[in-house]
Chains A and B, each alone.
Chain A
Amino acid sequence: MSQSAVDVPAKGGFSYDLCKRNDMLIQKGLKAPSFLKTGTTIVGLIFKDGVILGADTRATEGPIVADKNCEKIHYMAPNIYCCGAGTAADTEAVTDMVSSQLRLHRYQTGRDSRVITALTLLKKHLFSYQGHVSAALVLGGVDITGPHLHTIYPHGSTDTLPFATMGSGSLAAMSVFEAKYKEGLTRDEGIKLVAEAICSGIFNDLGSGSNVDICVITKGNKEYLRNYMEPNPRTYVSSNGYSFTKKTEVLRTKITPLKERVEIIEVTGEAMEE
């Protein structure tokens, strides 16, 4: 961090100290490293008994697929899950942070977490970083007040919707939802529609691909269906299996037992103080 004349506010938020220096470096020709983004199609919908969230599993680094099977549906609370699109590090960090804040809050209040609590904690954080934390989230859960589904944009605005899509594949998934969503869907109908929307993103958007993850949250119960559907299996596998004919030759074997070289000291004393 630079030594600036202005005091950095203690509570956090985006610090603009290094912006001038970054601009100067870019002008001089420095190429900023690209982020690991999640490309992504993430969706959520409200059905008769609760909320269903869906996501694809491809993480991209520019034009390369960095992770073929990543997890984009993050745990927030036993009754609340959050899908994340945008920069992978940002979505992970922000959902982890709010998840632990929610747990502490649960210990303090003795009650189950509510979805709007997670919503407010997330949007406060994202807004204070003015969109630089590039996390676009679909937050869904069922609490004492009923099922809820929200979208949160990187700049901190939120929407409350019956069905929502985010990420580069959001238009492909939204076209499926707009054409086929009805109120009062059953669990199976809802899962089918979510899988269809994610598949639409997987096959029509280059930033999304691989498998479909689904999470069904109802009152008092949640089902995390990891890799619910795998519509991109490896098609050509050698039927003979793979064998490596030439084994590595062993030239010499030397075993050094470590126990003789390590001193084990028994410590009797008090445990660390709180």
Chain B
Amino acid sequence: MTFTIPIDNGDALKNAEADSQRTLYPYVTGTSIVAIKYKDGVLMASDMGGSYGSTLRYKNIERMKAIGKHSLLGASGEISDFQEILRYLDELVLNDNMWDDGNSLGPKEVHNYLTRVMYNRRNKFNPLWNTLVLGGVKNGESYLGMVSMIGVSFEDNHVATGFGNHLARPILRDEWHADLSFEEGVKLLEKCMRVLLYRDRSAINKLQIAKITEEGVTVSQPYSLKTFWEFKAFNNPTAGAEGSW
């Protein structure tokens, strides 16, 4: 019995032209997102910077957007891929509204949709270079979940992306508790964002905090955090060690 192996000309991995269609590196990126569940819903914080490699190119990017009536999506990573995801979700919400059946997509459904999209793109070696944070409230139940660019998806009481994984998560693990009030939640998020501002080189001091409750989504106006640089040791750091810095 003869067995012929077909020559595959359309193999995306070997075909040089097809390479230019795949995402290989991110270009304009957003840094961390930090989000927590609180008493009335979900709070999410992000800064407004878009870095182009090591240049701070854009300082007015909103990385958190409302999705439908019940969800809030925040993204870190490639900004163009985030905008593409918003277009997909727009189509999804539109089709859902066209049913006109009184039901609307909740955060769980949106999270599942995003997980499928991200995982399938990863399987084709053409990922959307984002880590997404999905928060929402439907029928009194708060929901907070995360999807990474390779399709890892989970939900938790508090999430952080990018550098927030290393700098914000320890603080959240220590200090988050159920039924935080709005003020306590904002204070906790600001604590995390301040540490990120000090220690993440791509963070800028212009942040927004978004709140989602049963009533809907509100994204705050951009504002900046107060920082402290007056440690005595910073005044003359080489007083004891002439010649070092």
Which positions in A face B, CB cutoff 8 Å?
A: 46, 115-116, 119, 145-146, 148, 150, 158-162, 171-172, 174-176, 178-179, 183, 200, 203-204
Contact = CB atoms under 8 A, between A and B. Distances in A.
Nearest to B191: A179
Given A146-B240, A178-B198, A178-B199, A161 B233 contact: yes
Interface in B216-245: 231-234, 237-238, 240-241, 244-245
Nearest to B166: A171
B166 A200 contact: no
Given A178-B194, A203-B173, A158 B244 contact: yes
A161 B238 CA distance: 10
B174 interface: yes
B233 A175 contact: no
Q: Which of A46, A145, A148, A160 has the most CB of B within 10 A?
A: A160
Interface of B: 163, 166-171, 173-174, 191-192, 194-195, 198-199, 231-234, 237-238, 240-241, 244-245
A215 to B, nearest CB: 19
B241 A175 contact: no
A174 B199 contact: yes
Contact of A176 (B171, B194, B234): B171
A179 B171 contact: yes
Given A46-B233, A175-B168, A204 B173 contact: yes
A233 to B, nearest CB: 20
Contact of B169 (A116, A148, A162, A204): A204
Contacts of A145: 240
Given A116-B240, A172-B167, 13 more contacts: A148-B240, A150-B241, A158-B244, A159-B237, A160-B237, A160-B241, A161-B237, A175-B195, A176-B171, A178-B198, A179-B171, A183-B231, A203-B170
A160 B237 CA distance: 6
B133 to A, nearest CB: 19
A179 B166 contact: no
A175 B170 contact: yes
Given A175-B168, A183-B231, A200-B170, A160 B238 contact: yes
Q: Is the contact region of chain B dominated by helix, strand, or loop, or is it mixed? A: helix
Contacts of B244: 119, 158-160
Contacts of A160: 233, 237-238, 240-241, 244-245
B232 A171 contact: no
Contacts of B174: 176, 200
A179 B194 CA distance: 8
B199 A171 contact: yes
A204 B232 CA distance: 30
A50 to B, nearest CB: 14
Contacts of B234: 162
Contacts of B194: 178-179
Contacts of A46: 233
Contacts of B167: 171-172, 174-175
Nearest to B167: A175
B54 to A, nearest CB: 20
Contacts of B232: 162, 183
6 contacts: A146-B240, A160-B238, A160-B241, A171-B166, A171-B199, A176-B170
A135 B243 CA distance: 22
Q: Which of A115, A116, A171, A176 has the most CB of B within 10 A?
A: A171
A160 to B, nearest CB: 5
Nearest to B163: A171
A176 B231 CA distance: 17
Given A162-B233, A178-B195, A179-B194, A116 B170 contact: no
B92 to A, nearest CB: 36
Q: Which of B173, B174, B191, B238 has the most CB of A within 10 A?
A: B174
A29 B191 CA distance: 49
A175 B92 CA distance: 39
A172 B194 CA distance: 14
A179 to B, nearest CB: 5
A196 B160 CA distance: 21
A152 B241 CA distance: 13
Nearest to B169: A204
B147 to A, nearest CB: 22
B231 A162 contact: yes
Q: Which of B166, B169, B194, B238 has the most CB of A within 10 A?
A: B166
A148 B242 CA distance: 13
B241 A179 contact: no
